[in-house]
Amino acid sequence: MCGIFGYIGKRDALPFIVEGLKKLEYRGYDSAGVATLKDARLFLQKCQGKIADLERLLLRKPIDGNIGIGHTRWATHGKPSDENSHPHSDCSEKIAVVHNGIIENYLHLRRELAERGHRFSSVTDTEVIAHLIEEELNIKGTDLEHAVSRALKKLHGSFALAILYEGEKDKIVVARRGSPLIVGVAENETFVSSDIPAILKYTSRVIYLKDNEIAIITQDDISLKNLDGDTVKKEISFISWDPESAEKGGYTHFMLKEIHEQPKAIRDTIKDRIKLDSCQVHFDELNLTEEEIRNINRVVFTACGTSWHAGLAGEYIMEKFVNIPTEVEYAAEFRYRNPIIDENTLVIAITQSGETADTLGAVLEAKSQNAKVISICNVVGSSIARDSHGVIYTCAGPEIGVASTKAFTTQLAVIYLLCLHMGQVRGIINRNEAEEMIKELMAIPQKIEDLLQSEDEVAQIAEKYFHANNALFLGRGKGFPIALEGALKLKEISYIHAEGYPAAEMKHGPIALIDKNMPVVVLALLGRRYEKILGNIEEVNARGGNVIAIATKGDNEIKEKAQDVIYIPPTSSDLSTILAVIPLQLFAYYIAVKRGCHVDQPRNLAKSVTVE
């Protein structure tokens, strides 16, 4: 997510802004910038890269003033670049705007503004806001507060904004809709931030802006209004967090925060891609024509780690809904195997970071063989997005914890939508089926929220098994990729040796491992393989193993078979993978915490493996 920080007070604004942006670095970003007001003049510096790059720029081109705003950008529209960095300005360069969120109608507004003579210096949605405010200010008698209110009424989408204007040198105007913005109230100083961590050092007294509210902040006053100009009551809250925990939104670890962010991450990933009236799916940058989709005769998912598990789950969905032979390849194997692919092969690279060396190598190999290559990625403008013919972004926001959670479930959601789209294009999915699939997918975020209510039960079960040295995860069908993912989560953050296996394969070897010290997690969801899975559970029980079953809510039979049961809400079997992985993420998390492991940065691991 982008980060916003603002300061108004008696002291020089810049040190506060740079310090505040550093406190927001955890949100992930690719560029940064600042703007200040001094002697009724606006000064602005910004660049692609890290805050350290911005500091070097400011050493060469210093700016000062006791009023200022700053921004760290997580690219959503337009690749990371100096021009696309915030703050953005208008034609007169008298206005500076920093923004967190997505303006959904920006292309329409941009076209209208350009027709009225406005010149744009970036491809971002944000820059549109500066020009809209400029237009309103050109209307005689309009002040910044009213210009901002009128401009914001034209925006569809989400925003947290901080705005400076040379013509009103003593104030910052801020506003929000859908993206958080907090005003920190100190003695003779006021701070503005996207998130609490950046202001906790200065004050614990904050005002949370509500949707469609603006705040006009001067040296001596903070006034809150709605977009119609009506005064809104100021409610000052007291923050009890310590600064360290605040960066995690009050969660102990980023991983736990990101597990809980999954409902929002999935909503953000699917909401702009589904046309409910037509039951059609649209991807902005897929770059695959309907004819190309119809000509595809083979699909290859390629990825590493957790992303590879998403591909393995995707294989079932792709073959079911698109009826194309599909395989899943480890990127490092695929790239050196001289794969037999051609222009009718669709290679789908899956990667959270977009920088995994092996996956990048696989993409280059696929392109050298003329395959169509699309990537599913969580980082706008990342290397893989540039190297692929098309890209579908997961909108999970920055994933800080090394163990991937929300990126994985949003990858599954994207694959489901992609298969729905391809199945419709190839005439395999009809309108009624599409409607049902979309309905099921849109119900998933709420089901995850319901599921997260059982977090304490999972934590209690984890308490019973944190001493284990080995663990086995079993699943059948789509449960198998989730068994693999559960095993990877446990091993990478708790260092317990864990293996995922197809449940039927257990009798071909791993069953020799079963004893009372071996917890066995089994994906035992109701469905056509359920009876077979019960048989596997009996085999484990007969050898003194301890079974932890992930089961469908309402299934009482499983209670007689398993030592522990974690229930998930019923959903279509095609989406059960998204729900079934949540308790496994929590199971691994609580065991790792109990074992005193460094959950967010496990030993030997990196968030993005940019080396072969």
Query: Which residues are designated catalytic?
Result: 2, 607
Phi then psi dihedrals of residue 524, to 5 deg: -125, 55
Q: Does 351 bind ligand AGP (CB under 6 A)?
A: yes
Nearer to ligand AGP, 125 or 492 (CB): 492
Residue 339: cis peptide before it, omega within 30 degrees of 0: no
- Tell me the backbone φ, ψ of residue 195, rounded to 5 degrees: -150, 155
Is residue 404 close enough to count as binding ligand AGP by CB under 6 A?
yes
Stretch that binds ligand AGP, among 43-51, 255-263, 300-308, 524-532 (CB under 6 A): 300-308
* CB-based burial, 503-519: b 16+ in 10 Å, e otherwise: beebeeeebebbeeebb
- CB of residue 421 to ligand AGP, shortest distance in Å: 22
Would you say 219 and 9 are in contact if contact means Cβ atoms under 8 Å apart?
yes
Nearest to 448 by CA among 310, 590, 312, 265: 265
User: Which member of 76, 193, 356, 494 binds ligand AGP (CB under 6 A)?
Assistant: 356
262 lies in the site for ligand AGP, by CB under 6 A: no
**Residue 362 identity:** A
Q: Which is nearer to ligand AGP, 278 or 610 (CB)?
A: 610
* Chain centroid, CA 541 distance in Å: 40
Q: Supply the minimum distance, in Å, between the C-beta of residue 353 and ligand AGP.
A: 3
Query: Taking the complex as a whole, how short is the minimal distance between the CB of residue 404 and ligand AGP, in angstroms?
Result: 4
Q: Does 608 bind ligand AGP (CB under 6 A)?
A: yes
Minimum gap (Å) between residue 134 Cβ and ligand AGP: 40
According to CB under 6 A, which residues from 476 to 495 bind ligand AGP? 492
Tell me which stretch binds ligand AGP (CB under 6 A): 5-13, 69-77, 304-312, 473-481: 304-312
Q: Which is nearer to ligand AGP, 96 or 488 (CB)?
A: 488
Q: Does 585 bind ligand AGP (CB under 6 A)?
A: no
CA distance 383 to 364: 11
Does position 403 interact with ligand AGP (CB under 6 A)? The reply is yes
Helix (H, G, I), strand (E, B) or coil at 88: strand
Least gap, CB of 608 to ligand AGP (angstroms): 5
User: Cα separations (Å) of 233 from 9, 76, 188, 209, 222?
Assistant: 23, 33, 20, 11, 11
Query: Closest approach of Cβ 345 to ligand AGP, in Å?
Result: 21
Give Cβ neighbours of residue 545 (< 8 Å, ≥ 6 apart): 514, 515, 516, 518, 519, 520
Q: How many Cα atoms are found within 13 Å in the side-chain-facing hemisphere of 463?
A: 6
Amino acid at 401: G
Q: Which is nearer to ligand AGP, 304 or 534 (CB)?
A: 304
Query: Does the protein bind ligand AGP through residue 388 (CB under 6 A)?
Result: no
Which of 521, 391, 401 has its CA nearest to residue 461?
521
The nearer residue to ligand AGP, 45 or 352, going by C-beta atoms, is 352
Is there binding between residue 307 and ligand AGP (CB under 6 A)?
Answer: yes
Please pick, from the candidates 345, 353, 410, 552, the single residue that binds ligand AGP as defined by CB under 6 A. Answer: 353
Residue 125 to residue 284: CA distance in whole angstroms: 15
> Does the protein bind ligand AGP through residue 546 (CB under 6 A)?
no
Q: Do the Cβ atoms of 519 and 468 come closer than 8 Å?
A: yes
Exactly one of 306, 375, 536, 552 binds ligand AGP (CB under 6 A); that residue is 306
Of 484-543, which residues contact ligand AGP (CB under 6 A)? Answer: 492
Residue nearest to ligand AGP as judged by C-beta position: 305
Q: Say if residues 174 and 183 touch (Cβ distance below 8 Å).
A: yes
Considering only 197, 305, 390, 445, the residue that binds ligand AGP (CB under 6 A) is 305
How far out from the chain centre does Cα 40 lie? 39
Q: Which residues bind ligand AGP (CB under 6 A)?
A: 304-307, 351-353, 356, 359, 402-404, 492, 608-609
